Structure 1
Amino acid sequence: MLRYLSDVGFKFGKDDYEDGLMELFGGLLGESGREIEWGDRRFLYIYADKDVEFWFPIDSDGSIDPTSFEMHYNTNRWIDLSGPEWVKTDESGIGGILCLWDYNAIYPMNICVPNAFCVAELTEEKDYKCQIACFAESMEIYKSEEEFSSNFGNLNMQAFIPLGQFATEEQSSHAHICGIVKEMQKKTNSVTGNNYYHLLIDTHYNDFDVFVDEELVNSIEIGDIVSVIAFMTGKIRPAYEGIELANKNRVGAEKKELKTLDDLYKILTKAWCRETAYPKCQLDWDGSDPSYGQSDVTAMLVYTMFGGTIHKVSVNGELHYFNRIDDVYVDLTREHFDLCNIPFMYEPNLIYSRQNRGRLDGLGKRFELLIKRVTDLMKNKKMK
């Protein structure tokens, strides 16, 4: 059963908890469920609302217990994190609490991660992306720094304290978040009709997405200072698919500045632009989602530098290209789907034959432009 079910947007009381779940999921399971496999595990994945997703384990006999699920509120903001380390895991082995570090490895925090089973390998040496949703258990609102200080003394008004790491019995993913309200949205859960607030809180540590029941909010405005005790959950993913090959050298890497797959990915995040995107995607291309429309030129570049094969799948009616190297799928452009919360699987797929590959060679100007931008970035990096 879920380790923690926030009331945010749902309001399940103790007396009708199981009945409420059955009523909610009874319709959703048939309406929007999608079966997904990871290794030897199967799950039913559904959206209960555009911001909320649920994962239901499927037993070996194909049955589903609606009271056994994991939930995540999508924030649509991915944060760079590193050094994941398990604090504790579920009995089921599909998730647990991770201690993660900010990208500069200065500050740790505990996060409950229901979807850890989706990540093939968690290693401290790799970089990861994480969505963090903070469910407010209590919240106090202050209109000025003086008002905050009168209650908390010398505590910084933008402090982040990972309370769960200091628990006397076992660690949890609770935190004390103090900060300034940077953005604010009042939302309605389309399934239940309940209202809640989605706040973006500016702290010295990071910006945090905080979800708050309407009943905890009297009067709040952008610029207010808040003190929140929150339960932190997250979705984690590698920076790209195939990160286990991050240190794989390209062909002829000995005399090259750009040696590894990871080197290529980091350069590509700066090299992708509107003009290298697929023509149909150029109008909507945005620098905040740089991998959008870049899968064909990127797959071709990866193939050119690292070999392997090129594959494609259809995602919502559009073709998406990626690579397979040393029996590992490599997709340097999957971030677009994560940013937009679009689930997809790499199998089944179609592999390109030599005859088909000529069509990818015909990418022409976009492919040449991407190579030029990568080369120019490497030259600038070498000069600094």
Structure 2
Amino acid sequence: MDAHVQKVADEALGDNRGAVVAIDPRNGGVLAMVSKPSFDANLFVGGISSRDYNVLRDSIDLPLFNRALQGQYPPASTVKPLYGLAGLHYGLVKPTTTINDPGWYRLPNDERLYRDWTWHKHKRGHGKAVDLEMSIVESCDTYYFDLAYRMGIDKIHDFMAPFGYGEKTGVDITNERSGLLPSREWKKIYKRLPWFPGETLSVGIGQGYMLVTPMQMAKSLVAIANRGKNFKPQLLQKMNDRDLPPQPLPPIDASEENWQAVIYAMEQVVHGARGTATRINRGAKYRMAGKTGTAQMIDMVQGDQVNPEEIAKRKRDHGLFIGFAPVENPKIVVAVIVENGEHGSWISPVARKVFDAWLIDQGMLEEESPAEFVGQVAVGGAQ
């Protein structure tokens, strides 16, 4: 871990409840792992009093809960780049394939309308010619409703599993949780029910049964940034004066053209005119790729609009952002979630501060070493 990046990530998250995970994609080294709210570890050194422990244990904010490893959240639209890659891989779409988005999607022989986020906000869709790039840049739900339905839940599961969803990342620390990558077989075993097409649509926009940890989000992003090359996340650089080398994972096979199509779209999320995270590109000395997400926490009534100000703070949507930089030679990936942060675009500046801490403050823009562990070891426990 890098002490400076950890400190910046902690400060950038502020008083929000959430988590930040940053990884060096060249080796899998975890640069920062922040969970907030946190607690003063010194309280435990001499034996914590019952009074102090009860305060921590009973807090509604769960300061003893490590959200980076144990928090399981709907990934929302952060999975759309991977679904786009899956669509290309299975030959269901090409980068130039377009769909008409009136603002909703309807399954065959079903009256229910599955609405795009633009319908809830503006009573419209994204237009008559939404292609892969536009679907990622503007986060078009309708595109992914259609793509998920045509892929089916089994193909979705099989494509996403190698990226680490639904299993522990194996990071060298205890109490990690595995998230949930649903499948037809999973529901049959654990719910004793068949899989329904509408559930596939929910998974298609990172909702429904699907759950991920911030560490899983960051690990999957390493594979995207590296165009298939992946590593097991690793906190320790040395043990007893013995170097602990990076731990490569089996590469994920996809054509260079498909990787490039998805990565270019993610770059436009940050640097394109209509991207959902353009607020973080100002003054940047490097190019970034990213994806925002908004995890819905309450069911929206068909056709209704809900004023966020009327919803209790703790029932508001979670805001998520994933990203890596520089695009042409990635040296850091970052995953951020802010509980009840409402929109990924609002919390994306957290990632920009973490990018700058590593690339600018620590001089990594000039660093060319591809797989060596670099940076200073953080003093003290992970937040």
Bigger fraction of residues in helix: 2
Give the TM-score normalised by structure 2: 0.26
Name the one with the larger strand percent: 1
Tell which structure's C-alpha radius of gyration is larger.
Answer: 1
